[in-house]
Amino acid sequence: MKDNGAPLTRADEILLLAILRLGDEANGINIRREITERAGKKLSFGSLWVSLDILRKRGLLEKHLADPTPRRGGRGKLYYRITPDGIQALDESRRFQEDLWKGIPARISDWKKS
């Protein structure tokens, strides 16, 4: 299933940005840690897996299994990376946010309605 053109939610954006920052180290544990540290959001692994799967089905992420290791009992780790469609969705989300903030002072408390 490819992205239906729906805009990213704030949660989608945070998740995709965490994966982008992590690069080749974007597995579930590292993604969860990155989101907690940068966004102050605590996610259960269950909700993380659901969100990752939804973004994958939209074509914004892909996942791959690393080679199994004896240390992991013969299992491999799942890693995620952003697809070109995911990069495009982040670019569009950034442009949208920038357009929304145009004309608003950096300090909102300086805002004066005319």
Domain membership flag for residue 33: yes
Domain membership flag for residue 111: no
Region 79-105: mean pLDDT is 93
Domain extent at residue 23: 10-100
Domain membership flag for residue 65: yes
pLDDT above 90 covers a percentage of the chain that reads 64
The candidate with the shortest Cα–Cα distance to 45, out of 82, 83, 7, 78, is: 78
Region 65-91: mean pLDDT is 84
Domain membership flag for residue 26: yes
Please give the pLDDT value at position 101: 87
Could you give the CA distance from residue 26 to residue 70 in angstroms, rounded to a whole number?
21
> Could you tell me which residue, 51 or 108, shows the higher pLDDT?
51
Could you give the CA distance from residue 5 to residue 7 in angstroms, rounded to a whole number?
6
pLDDT > 90? residue 67: no
Question: In CATH, what number is assigned to the domain containing residue 56?
Answer: 1.10.10.10
Count of domains forming the chain = 1
Domain membership flag for residue 48: yes
pTM attached to this predicted model: 0.82
Region 68-96: mean pLDDT is 86
Domain membership flag for residue 46: yes
Domain membership flag for residue 71: yes
Domain membership flag for residue 77: yes
